[in-house]
C-alpha cells in the first residue's frame, strides 16, 4: 500500500520504522500496561470503597491520571525520537548523500520530524479505546477529551521540533539529546519553580493592585500547569485572580508553543545546508 504523500524521506522513514517488529511489540506492551492500569484502578477503587459500581468522580480522577501519563509519555519520549534524526545521519556520513537528492531542506526536515513522532502519535491514537472507557462511567465531557488531545498534539510537535533543531545545529547526537532534554526539563520544572518564586515576590509587594506578568507567563507555558487547568478550571481562575492578568493561559500556551515550533523548524531548515553554502 503506497503512501499518498509526496515526500520520499517521510515515506522511507515510516516504512523502515513500522516494518520493524519492535514497533508493534512496543505498541502491544504499551496497551497491555494501560489496560492493566485502568482495570486495576477500577478494581482497587471498588474494593477500597466496598462498592460494586464506579462513580463519575472516580472516573474523572482516572481520566486525569491517564492524561498525565500521556503527557509524561510525550515529554520524555519525544526528545529521544527526534534529537538524533539529523546528527545520526551526519555521524553515519549519509547526510551528504541525502542533501544531494532533489528534496528541499524543508521536505527533509519535515519528513524526519513527522516520521520520528509518528510512532508516538500512533501510541496516542491506539490508547483512545482505553480512554473511551471513562465515558461508560460519566464525569467526562467530549470537550474535555478533545482539549486534552489537542494539548498533547501541540506539545508533541513543539518538543519534536526542538529536538530536530538541536539535531541539526549540533553535530553530536548525545549532546543534541542532552540539549533537548534540558530544554524540556526547563519548560516543565524550572518554569514552575520560577513562577512560584515570582508569585511569592508579588505577594510581598506593597502595590495596591499588584500584577506579575513573569509569574503568569511562566505558569502559562508550563505543560503540567496547563494540563491541570484544562482538567480543573479552578486552577486557571486562581492564576488569573492572583496575577491580575485576564487572559486565558491556554491562549498564551498555544501562541508560545506554536511560535517555538515554527521558529525551531525555520532554524533547522536554514542550518541543514549551512556547510554546503560555506564551501561554495
- For Cα atoms 208, 214, 220, give the angle at the middle one, nearest 5 degrees: 115
Q: Rounded distance, CA 151 to CA 149, Å?
A: 5
The three three-digit cell numbers of residue 59, written as one number: 472516573
The three three-digit cell numbers of residue 218, written as one number: 511562566
- For Cα atoms 173, 177, 182, give the angle at the middle one, nearest 5 degrees: 150
Number of H helices, E strands in the chain: 15, 0
Q: Rounded distance, CA 99 to CA 106, Å?
A: 11
Q: Which of 187, 166, 10, 193 is nearest to 90 (CA)?
A: 166
Q: Rounded distance, CA 79 to CA 162, Å?
A: 8
| Average pLDDT score, the chain | 82
Indicate the SS3 state at residue 279. Answer: coil
pTM: 0.85
pLDDT in tens, 149-176: 899 999 999 999 999 999 999 888 899 9
Between the two ends of the chain, the Cα-to-Cα distance in Å is: 41
Q: Rounded distance, CA 56 to CA 61, Å?
A: 9
pLDDT in tens, 88-133: 888 888 887 878 877 888 888 888 888 888 888 888 888 888 877 7
More confident residue, 141 or 205: 141
Question: Binning pLDDT at 50, 70 and 90, where does residue 207 land?
Answer: low
The three three-digit cell numbers of residue 252, written as one number: 498564551
Q: Rounded distance, CA 63 to CA 116, Å?
A: 27
Q: Which of 164, 7, 136, 147 is nearest to 70 (CA)?
A: 147
Domain ranges of the chain: 22-278
Q: Is 93 left (phi over 0), alpha (psi -120 to 50) or beta?
A: left
Which of 5-19, 68-82, 266-280 shows the highest mean pLDDT? 68-82
Q: Is pLDDT at 272 greater than 50 in this prediction?
A: yes
pLDDT at residue number 87 = 86
Across 183-208, average pLDDT = 80
Question: Binning pLDDT at 50, 70 and 90, where does residue 280 land?
Answer: very low
Length of the chain: 280
pLDDT in tens, 209-242: 455 788 889 989 999 999 988 888 888 888 888 7
- % pLDDT > 90, the chain: 20
Amino acid at each position: 500500500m503506497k503512501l499518498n504523500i509526496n515526500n520520499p524521506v517521510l515515506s522511507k522513514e515510516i516504512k523502515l520504522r513500522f516494518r520493524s517488529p519492535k514497533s508493534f511489540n512496543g505498541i502491544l506492551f504499551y496497551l497491555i500496561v494501560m489496560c492493566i492500569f485502568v482495570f486495576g484502578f477500577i478494581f482497587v477503587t471498588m474494593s477500597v470503597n466496598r462498592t460494586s459500581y464506579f462513580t463519575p468522580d472516580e472516573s474523572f480522577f482516572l481520566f486525569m491520571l491517564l492524561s498525565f501519563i500521556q503527557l509524561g509519555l510525550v515529554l520524555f519520549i519525544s526528545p529521544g525520537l527526534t534529537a538524533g534524526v539529523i546528527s545520526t545521519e551526519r555521524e553515519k556520513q549519509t547526510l551528504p548523500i541525502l542533501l544531494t537528492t532533489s528534496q528541499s531542506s524543508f521536505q527533509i526536515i519535515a519528513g524526519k520530524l513527522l516520521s520520528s513522532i509518528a510512532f508516538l502519535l500512533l501510541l496516542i491514537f491506539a490508547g483512545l479505546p482505553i480512554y473511551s472507557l471513562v465515558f461508560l462511567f460519566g464525569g467526562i465531557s467530549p470537550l474535555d477529551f478533545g482539549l486534552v488531545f489537542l494539548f498533547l498534539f501541540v506539545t508533541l510537535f513543539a518538543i519534536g521540533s526542538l529536538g530536530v533543531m538541536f539535531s541539526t545545529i549540533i553535530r553530536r547526537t548525545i549532546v543534541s539529546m542532552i540539549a533537548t532534554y534540558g530544554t524540556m526539563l526547563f519548560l516543565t520544572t524550572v518554569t514552575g519553580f520560577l513562577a512560584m518564586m515570582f508569585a511569592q515576590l508579588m505577594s510581598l509587594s506593597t502595590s495596591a493592585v499588584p500584577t506579575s506578568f513573569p509569574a503568569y507567563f511562566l505558569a502559562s507555558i508550563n505543560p503540567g500547569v496547563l494540563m491541570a487547568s484544562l482538567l480543573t478550571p479552578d486552577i486557571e481562575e486562581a492564576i488569573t485572580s492572583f496575577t491580575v492578568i485576564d487572559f486565558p493561559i491556554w491562549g498564551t500556551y498555544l501562541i508560545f508553543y506554536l511560535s517555538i515550533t515554527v521558529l525551531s523548524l525555520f532554524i533547522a531548515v536554514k542550518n541543514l545546508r549551512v556547510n554546503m553554502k560555506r564551501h561554495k
